[in-house]
Amino acid sequence: MKKAWVELNIFSGRPDPGWEIPLEQAMELYKEAISFPATDAKKLFEGLGYRGFRVFIDQNDEQRIICTVFSDLVKIVSGSTTQYKRDKERKMEKWLLLSAKTNIDEPLFKIIEKQIL
């Protein structure tokens, strides 16, 4: 099934909020992400609190693309390939923040907004 959705990585002990986005927009984000300059593999933040966004793109039943975005780091997993990219202007994270505005409650949005902007 072709679909795309975003997950905000924020909670521990309860499910993280998630929402669908149009597949076309997700593919545009993916294409932009792969155009960013490559960077060394880095471990993403795994502590408590805001840990970024994950974008899931299902193009067909066999392949899922997962883009994890935190600060200026974008980790792209497609099949058995993993790439790390640098988004120095944090465009993807800011776009995902805006997509969250109508999908999460306002107090949570404000917390995330303070950490990104």
Nearest-Å Rg of the Cα atoms of the chain is 14
User: Shortest CA distance to 103 belongs to which of 16, 11, 12, 3?
Assistant: 16
* Average pLDDT for the chain: 93
State the pLDDT at residue 45. Answer: 75
State the pLDDT at residue 11. Answer: 93
d(CA 33, CA 55): 11
pLDDT band of 33, cuts 50, 70, 90 = very high
pLDDT band of 114, cuts 50, 70, 90 = very high
> What is the mean predicted confidence (pLDDT) over 71-84?
94
Residue 93, classified by CB atoms within 10 Å of its CB into exposed (0-12), middle (13-18) or buried (19+), is buried
User: Shortest CA distance to 67 belongs to which of 78, 80, 79?
Assistant: 78
pTM of the model: 0.92
Q: Which of the two residues, 109 and 44, has the higher pLDDT score?
A: 109
d(CA 103, CA 107): 12
